[in-house]
Each structure stands twice: as structure tokens, then as C-alpha cells.
Amino acid sequence: MIHIELISALSDNYIYLLHNDKQNITAVIDPGEADPVIKVLKAKNWNLDQIINTHHHHDHTGGNSKLKKIYKSQLIAPLYEKDRISDIDIFVSDGDTISIAGADSKAIHTPGHTLGHVCFYIPEEKYLFSGDTMFYLGCGRVFEGTMEEMWNSLLKLKLLPDDTTVYCGHEYTLSNAKFSIHIDPNNQLLKQAYNNINNKRNEGLPTIPFLLGDEKKINPFLRANENSFASSIGLNLSSPSEIFKSIRTQKDNF
């Protein structure tokens, strides 16, 4: 059984510390900075065995070298990002199974935000670490890949079970929720989610994690292949990747 500590970092990043009590193994996902991670490790009296990166951006890797130096951790990162992340010990490619904090985890290559972005799914716990590919009610900006690649990446995540718990890289939920309501104003489930999100943010609480099954019904970026969704939000397009592209472009200018 894996226990997850959510650590807020930088302005709106989340770093996840995974601890396996039985085997006493600890892993960190996307340490954008080292100090807040060290603070929790000290308080818990844990060593840091593994560092995992979803992609090369500094707000996900900035703490790598300091943590590695102190804890002699193993750095696991996408093979596709080998030229952008230094000192990788174990490379992962699409479909690889690696052990994270003692649990089998599947690497899912999700190009779009960056070309080499990888998400990690732990089937035993139904946990998905979605990095900057999928956010609560949103998705990452398409910086390096094409809109079509990003759409296909989101489709891969959409295939995971409804009871998957998703941990994403940023607290962007409130602004994503505002955009989602703007383009899909008649979605009652979305309105409910928006109220919950608002309450949490007003109390200064994280909105993460969230459930993938709910997300399939309320995240507009996941719904581009759904019958009649495009027309319900006023888009006269038939190909899912074109619909996705239109929604992503609207969000970029929102």
C-alpha cells in the first residue's frame, strides 16, 4: 500500500512523495525544488530512494540534483527527454513497467506538452501521475508536439478505469473550471464540481487529487470524441483532434 504526501512548491506546482510503509521505500515525482521535499523527508525520517520526472521542464526537475546528491537517489526519467534532463539512471519508454516505491507502474508516453512527456500509472492502486498532460478540468499547453499528438495522448489516459485517482502537476483547477463553465455552461455535473472547487480554494485547500471517471464527463479536453459534444458547445467540426484543437486554442486565448 502506497501512501502519498502532496507537497506544494514554487507558485502552483505539486510534488508527490510516495511511501511504501511495508518495504520502507520512498519516491518523489517531479521535484521542481528540493527544499520542501527535504523538509517532509526529515519530518518523516525517510530516505529518498527514487526521483521520477514526467518531463524536462524546470518546474518538475529543478530539485533533482540537490536531492540526488543528498540521498543518492536513483533518477528515473523518459528516454525521450535524455538530452534535456541530466544524470538519468533509468530510462523509461512507452509501455515499460517500472517499480515506483515498490509498486509496478506503467509508463505511458504522452507527447504534446513536451515531446518526451511520460505519465505513470500504478494499476494496483489505480493512481495516475499525469504531470502536465492532464490537469483537473484541463490539459497542458501544447508546446512541443502537435495538437493531434496531444489529443492522442489524452485519449490514452481516457482509457484508464473510471476509479483512477489522478495526481497532476499543477493547481490550475479554478481557472480551468472557469473556462470549462464558459464553454459548457449547461453541464450540471460541471457546475457541482465548480462549487466544490471554489469552496476548497476559498479554504486554501488543494483540489488534487480527482477522479478520472468524473473527469470524463466534465473536462472539455477529454470530450472531443464524444457524440454531439462539439455541437452542444457550438462547434461545427467532426474530427476529434480538430475539436480538441479548437478548445485548446480558445483556452490559450481565454
- Which amino acids are annotated catalytic? 55, 57, 59-60, 113, 132, 170
Return the residue of 19, 56, 57, 68 that touches Zn ion, per CB under 5 A: 57
Residue 184 touches which of Fe ion, Zn ion, none (CB < 5 to 8 A by kind)? none
C-alpha gyration radius of the chain: 18
| Neighbour count for residue 104 (Cβ, 10 Å) | 12
Per CB under 5 A, contacts with Zn ion among 158-217 are: none
Which lies closer to Fe ion via its Cβ, residue 132 or residue 149?
132
Q: At closest approach, how far in Å is the CB of 175 from Fe ion?
A: 14
**Least distance to Zn ion, CB of residue 107, Å:** 17
CA distances from 31 to 52, 75, 160, 221, 253 (A): 8, 11, 25, 26, 29
From candidates 33, 49, 59, 149, binder to Fe ion by CB under 5 A: 59
Instruction: Using DSSP bridges, classify how beta strands 165-168 and 90-92 pair: parallel, antiparallel or unpaired.
Output: unpaired
- Interface positions, 163-192, toward Fe ion (CB under 5 A): 169
Q: Which does 56 bind (CB under 5 to 8 A by kind): Fe ion, Zn ion, none?
A: none
Q: Residue 1 has which C-alpha cell?
A: 500500500
For residues 214 and 98, what is the distance between their CA atoms, to the nearest angstrom? 28
Q: Which does 149 bind (CB under 5 to 8 A by kind): Zn ion, Fe ion, none?
A: none
Question: Is residue 81 close enough to count as binding Fe ion by CB under 5 A?
Answer: no
Binding marks (x or -) toward Fe ion, 126..145, rule CB under 5 A? ------x-------------
Amino acid at 41: L
Among residues 145, 158, 150, 156, which one has the least CA distance to residue 219? 158
Dihedral of CA atoms 190, 150, 206, 100 in degrees, nearest 10, equals 130
CB of 114 to Zn ion, least distance (A): 7
Report the amino acid identity of residue 142: V
Using the structure block, give the residue that is written with the C-alpha cell 500500500.
1
Residues that bind Fe ion (CB under 5 A): 59, 132, 169
Q: Interface with Zn ion by CB under 5 A: which residues?
A: 57, 132
